[in-house]
Amino acid sequence: MIVKKYTGKDETEAVMKAKDDLGSNAVVLNVRTMKQRGLAKVFKKDFVEITAALEEKDFAQNVNNNKPTFSRVSSEAIKKQQSQINLLADDSVNPHAPKQSEIIEKKLDSLHDMLRNQMVREEETDKKEDIKPAVKPENNANFKSLKLIYNKLLENEVSEKNANAIINDIENSMKKESNLDSILASVYQKIILKFGEPEAIEDDERRKIVFFIGPTGVGKTTTIAKLASDFKLTRSKSVAMITADTYRIAAVEQLNTYASILDVPVNVIYSPSEIVESIEELSDYQMIFVDTAGRSHKNTEQRDEIIEMISNVRNSGIDADIIIFLVMSVTTKYRDMVNICDAYKSLNDYRLLFTKLDETDSLGNILNIKLYTGAPISYTTCGQNVPDDIESVDVQKLAKSLLGGE
Ligand SMILES: Nc1nc2c(ncn2[C@@H]2O[C@H](COP(=O)(O)OP(=O)(O)OP(=O)(O)O)[C@@H](O)[C@H]2O)c(=O)[nH]1
Ligand SMILES: [Mg+2]
């Protein structure tokens, strides 16, 4: 992994520098505003420093591809990252800034203590069980730490294949002997890179048609209510809804209830051919959320209706961004999630939205499915409360949780 720092008079300038240097797959790990102190305050302006990271293989590819464009880093994402963990503070830039080692210790201390305690306990268990992580005990001073982290990942339902890949990467790039803190920090960063840049709904002026598709009962309608509320009440957008769910008797009523609380119009459509006309009727609205009936991915006929509806909009030439959220509950088994994603593969560019994080402690499937599909992750929901129980994916929080942290 390549980790580099860039400075600029503002975030945009620093990100542009990273863009020129690292290319499209880089991920911003951290953004800091560096304040001038003492006499320097008079002569020099504050500046922004970002820490960006890139997988080595992507770096090599960038060089070959003559540096493609940087992935979109929304100002929202940047703001969010300002409050996020700073693992790589450069001690030399600002003498008053906390030292790198202090920051790592502070941010990862709970994980560290927990893992160390566990290490002692597992020494006992190891004698009884034969666990087989990717790391090889021979000549590897880091074996215990890596094995612990590997087991933690498996415990959180990261697949064996993905846990092995993470551990192998770390093992290959590590010094002969590293302490638990630095191994943990490397794994943590690796996981963040694997999650990639989340893609929430862009908060810009372009009109948006947003589809919510997925299995029955995962929370599509509830999630629409949460997002519609955010866009209408917090971001002052004009919002409308369309429901293609006339399948369940109470479905239209459910959406109507949310819509009337939010005071937004709802159109009901009965077949895929009606969608374009319905959107045109709502031409005054910036955001149109389209609810669909939960479909078993095994019922290909029903699934094809949804795909047809989306294709109709794509082919209509409507001037709007089309966003598709494939909504899945994290409580669903990995194998079923894979089948669901496969069922909608032909849509190509859906984003992953995971619900019901409050119902499980094991979030490994989010990483597994992200890596299986390559699709961006967007939002997670963590309860039934509208509008509060939703957030743009916080990859730092997810990565910590996969390592057993709070
Ligand atoms: N615990 C929990 N429950 C949720 C969450 N999101 C939605 N629910 C609940 O899940 C149930 C189903 O939610 P809906 O929004 O109706 O799900 P849906 O995907 O629209 O269902 P269908 O339209 O029948 O396919 C409701 O009881 C919701 O309150 C969540 O994040 N956590
Ligand atoms: Mg519904």
User: What kind and span of H or E run contains 210?
Assistant: strand 208-213
Domain count, the chain: 3
Query: In the prediction, which pLDDT does 302 show?
Result: 87
Stronger pLDDT, 53 or 75, i.e. the higher one? 53
Comparing 242-256, 335-349, 374-388, the range with the smallest average pLDDT is 242-256
Average pLDDT over residues 272-276: 96
Query: In the prediction, which pLDDT does 81 show?
Result: 40
Asked if residue 95 belongs to a domain, the reply is no
Asked if residue 121 belongs to a domain, the reply is yes
Asked if residue 203 belongs to a domain, the reply is no
What is the rounded distance in angstroms from the CA atom of residue 96 to the CA atom of residue 291? 52
CA of 327 to the centre of ligand 1 (A): 10
Comparing 117-121, 141-145, 341-345, the range with the smallest average pLDDT is 117-121
Query: In the prediction, which pLDDT does 136 show?
Result: 58
What is the rounded distance in angstroms from the CA atom of residue 358 to the CA atom of residue 341? 22
Q: Are 197 and 301 in contact (CB under 8 A)?
A: no
- Mark whether 366 and 237 lie in a shared domain: yes
- Mark whether 137 and 281 lie in a shared domain: no
- Mark whether 261 and 367 lie in a shared domain: yes
Which ligand has the nearest atom to the CA of 356?
Answer: 1
Asked if residue 214 belongs to a domain, the reply is yes
First to last CA, the chain: 25
- Mark whether 387 and 292 lie in a shared domain: yes
What is the rounded distance in angstroms from the CA atom of residue 297 to the CA atom of residue 286? 31
CATH number of 242's domain: 3.40.50.300
- Mark whether 344 and 368 lie in a shared domain: yes
Q: Is the pLDDT at 360 greater than 90, yes or no? A: yes
Q: Which residues contact 208 (CB under 8 A, 6 or more apart)?
A: 201, 202, 286, 287, 288, 320, 321, 322, 323
Q: Is the pLDDT at 319 greater than 80, yes or no? A: yes
Asked if residue 406 belongs to a domain, the reply is no
User: Strand 351-355's sheet: what is its strand order?
Assistant: 266-268, 239-243, 287-291, 208-213, 321-329, 351-355, 377-381, 390-392
CA of 77 to the centre of ligand 2 (A): 29
Q: Residue whose CA is closest, atom 29 of ligand 1? A: 384
Model pTM?
A: 0.74
Q: Is the pLDDT at 80 greater than 50, yes or no? A: no
Comparing 89-93, 97-101, 144-148, 217-221, the range with the smallest average pLDDT is 89-93
Q: Residue whose CA is closest, atom 13 of ligand 1? A: 219
Could you tell me whether strands 2-8 and 47-54 are parallel, antiparallel, or unpaired per DSSP bridges? Answer: antiparallel
Asked if residue 200 belongs to a domain, the reply is no
Q: Are 70 and 62 in contact (CB under 8 A)?
A: no
Asked if residue 251 belongs to a domain, the reply is yes
| Residues of the chain above pLDDT 70, percent | 75
pLDDT digits (tens, 9 = 90+) for 148-187: 899 999 999 999 999 999 998 888 777 666 777 888 888 9
- Mark whether 172 and 319 lie in a shared domain: no
Range of the domain at 165: 101-195
What is the rounded distance in angstroms from the CA atom of residue 53 to the CA atom of residue 59? 10
Q: Give the end of a domain, one of 195, 219, 253.
A: 195
- Mark whether 119 and 237 lie in a shared domain: no
Q: Can you give the C-alpha Rg of the chain in angstroms?
A: 23
- Mark whether 71 and 109 lie in a shared domain: no
Q: How much is the mean pLDDT over the chain? A: 82
Q: Give the end of a domain, one of 86, 121, 155.
A: 86
pLDDT digits (tens, 9 = 90+) for 124-148: 554 444 445 555 555 466 788 888 8
- Mark whether 339 and 272 lie in a shared domain: yes
Stronger pLDDT, 406 or 200, i.e. the higher one? 200
Q: Residue whose CA is closest, atom 7 of ligand 1? A: 219
Angle between helix 395-402 and 180-195 (nearest 10): 130
Phi, psi for 151 (deg, rounded to 5): -65, -35
Q: In degrees to the nearest 10, what's the CA dihedral of 395, 397, 399, 404?
A: -170
Note residues around ion ligand 2 (Cβ under 5 angstroms): 220-221
Cβ–Cβ contacts within 10 Å for residue 325, how many?
22
- Mark whether 142 and 258 lie in a shared domain: no
* Site of tokens 């039934």: 384
CA of 62 to the centre of ligand 2 (A): 43
CA of 245 to the centre of ligand 1 (A): 14
Q: Is the pLDDT at 190 greater than 60, yes or no? A: yes
- Mark whether 339 and 232 lie in a shared domain: yes
Question: Which residues does ligand 1 sit against, CB inside 6 Å?
Answer: 216-222, 245, 248, 251, 293-294, 355-356, 358-359, 381-384, 389
Q: Residue whose CA is closest, atom 17 of ligand 1? A: 219
Average pLDDT over residues 270-289: 96
- Mark whether 282 and 238 lie in a shared domain: yes
Query: In the prediction, which pLDDT does 37 show?
Result: 66
Average pLDDT over residues 357-369: 96
Q: Give the end of a domain, one of 170, 195, 220.
A: 195
Average pLDDT over residues 271-289: 97
